[in-house]
Amino acid sequence: MTARKPGAGAPKRDPRRPSATRGGSPATRGRGWTPWLYLAPALVVLAGLLVYPIYQLGLISFLEYTQAQVSGGEATSFQGLGNYQALFSDPQFWQVLLTTVGFAAACVVATLGVGCALAVLLTRVRALPRLVLMMASLGAWATPAITGSTVWVFLFDADYGPVNRILGLGDFSWTYEKYSAFALVLFEVVWCSFPFVMVTVYAGIRAIPAEVLEAASLDGASQWKIWRSVMAPMLRPILVVVTIQSIIWDFKVFTQIFVMTNGGGIAGQNLVLNVYAYQKAFASSQYSLGSAIGIVMLLILLAVTLVYLRLMRRQGEEL
């Protein structure tokens, strides 16, 4: 019986195929850096526009930084968490935070309601009305926030505004009372925000197979039931995206509140966190407290963003 040679019967390796060594071939390892090389210019720009300002914001929030330090008259002193302790012990901060959350929630619900309703309407009208509605909505979306806010203040002006004359409200001032001022700002925020929701949801509706909607209609389902039981579940990924985006945008509203309520309303009754931070930092020269408010807002929005990314990852796994 002849002895079998070592390696006999083993499959021969193709000399043209690279060996499967640990870590891969040098060419494979080199290709792993290629995407980062393409992303490097954008990462450098983002580092300059985002990372460094956030670093400076966080640094100032731990220092005693007032107008004296800005003018270079005195050296800054390290306060540690003192600015955050002063901020969290201020009852006005918690009141403004609750007001911001409530106002942002109302804006998000109203924006989603108007956007989804108009998206469904776009599927029901003819081509020309659809084009007119799309162009008008995109015009509202493209209008700068400060321009739109100024126009809305004029429309609802107590002396010269046409809205009060049409509604017969006389010299009623929308910006005098707290809730009427917030309602006016909400109208403007929804006006400039619903086109994003409308266009996105309309694109999702057009992607739903017509056979599904026709089958639901033949089964006797009403339009509301078709939306609730058929369209909304199929549009869930899109609705999650527009909801999270709306939360981020509406939570950090500044221009509309500042312009339409003249910096936060009478006695600060219409303050939100962004305007509150501006008043602390620039009106009161308490730059450390203003920076601390900015860091708190950053952490809140970062938490919302992480929830958004987790939901998107989960939906990607389900698909």
1.10.3720.10, 1.10.1660.10, 3.40.50.720, 3.10.20.30: which CATH number matches 98-266? 1.10.3720.10
79 burial (CB, 10 Å; 0-12 / 13-18 / 19+) is middle
Q: Which residue has the tokens 């942002």?
A: 104
Instruction: Please determine, for residue 163, whether its predicted confidence score (pLDDT) is greater than 80.
Output: yes
Structure tokens, 122: 């776009």
Rounded to whole angstroms, the Cα distance separating 117 from 123 reads: 10
Structure tokens, 87: 């901020």
Q: What residues contact 31, with CB distance under 8 A and at least 6 apart? A: none
Instruction: Please determine, for residue 280, whether its predicted confidence score (pLDDT) is greater than 60.
Output: yes
Instruction: Please determine, for residue 2, whether its predicted confidence score (pLDDT) is greater than 90.
Output: no
Instruction: Please determine, for residue 20, whether its predicted confidence score (pLDDT) is greater than 50.
Output: no
pLDDT, tens only, 67-122: 777 777 666 788 889 999 999 999 999 999 999 999 999 999 999 999 999 998 99
Q: Supply the pTM of this predicted model.
A: 0.81
Rounded to whole angstroms, the Cα distance separating 269 from 265 reads: 5
Instruction: Please determine, for residue 315, whether its predicted confidence score (pLDDT) is greater than 80.
Output: no
Instruction: Please determine, for residue 185, whether its predicted confidence score (pLDDT) is greater than 80.
Output: yes
Higher local confidence (pLDDT), 307 or 253: 253
Percent of the chain scoring above 70 in pLDDT: 87
**pLDDT score recorded for residue 291:** 93
Instruction: Please determine, for residue 276, whether its predicted confidence score (pLDDT) is greater than 90.
Output: yes
pLDDT grade for 134, boundaries at 50, 70 and 90: very high
Mean predicted lDDT score pLDDT of the chain: 85
Per-domain boundaries in the chain = 98-266
**pLDDT score recorded for residue 29:** 57
The region, left, alpha or beta by phi > 0 then psi within -120 to 50, assigned to residue 66 is: beta
**pLDDT score recorded for residue 182:** 95
Q: How many helices (H) and strands (E) does the chain have?
A: 17, 0
Instruction: Please determine, for residue 305, whether its predicted confidence score (pLDDT) is greater than 80.
Output: yes
Instruction: Please determine, for residue 270, whether its predicted confidence score (pLDDT) is greater than 90.
Output: yes
Q: How far is CA 170 from the centre of its chain?
A: 37
Structure tokens, 59: 């640094």
Rounded to whole angstroms, the Cα distance separating 185 from 180 reads: 9
**pLDDT score recorded for residue 1:** 46
**pLDDT score recorded for residue 4:** 52
